[in-house]
A and B are shown apart, each in its own frame.
Chain A
Amino acid sequence: MFNPIKEPNFFFGLDTATVPAWFKGLDGAIQLTVAIIALVLAIYTFKIYKISGKKKPFYFGTGFIFVSLSYFVWAVLNMAIIINISRYLCRETHICIVDILTDISIYIHMALLMVGLLLISFSTFKKRNKETYILAFFIIALVLALSKQTLMFFYSFSSLLLLYLVIHYVRNYFKHKNTKTLVVGSAFLLLSIANLELVFGLTDGFDYTIGNILTLLAFLLIILNFVYILMKK
Chain B
Amino acid sequence: MSKKRDRIQVIYDILNAVKEKDGKIKPTNILYKANLSPQMLNEYLKELIGKGLIKENNAKDGKTYSLENKGFEFLSKYKTIVDFLETFGLN
Contacts and interface: CB of A to CB of B under 8 A. Distances in A.
Interface of A: 44-45, 48, 50-54, 56-57, 60, 123-124, 168-169, 172, 176, 178, 180-181, 183-184, 225-226, 229-230, 232
- Give the size category of B's interface with A: 10 to 19
Contact of A54 (B8, B47, B80, B83): B8
B7 A52 contact: yes
A123 B91 CA distance: 10
Contacts of A124: 89
A53 B87 CA distance: 18
B89 A52 contact: no
Nearest to B6: A54
Contacts of B51: 50-51
B89 A181 contact: yes
A181 B84 CA distance: 9
B40 interface: no
A57 B86 CA distance: 11
14 contacts: A45-B90, A48-B85, A50-B51, A56-B85, A56-B90, A57-B85, A57-B90, A124-B89, A168-B89, A178-B86, A180-B83, A184-B87, A229-B83, A229-B84
Contact of A180 (B81, B87, B90): B87
A60 B88 contact: yes
B89 A172 contact: yes
A181 B87 contact: yes
B81 A52 contact: yes
A172 B83 CA distance: 13
Nearest to B7: A52
Interface in B13-61: 47, 51
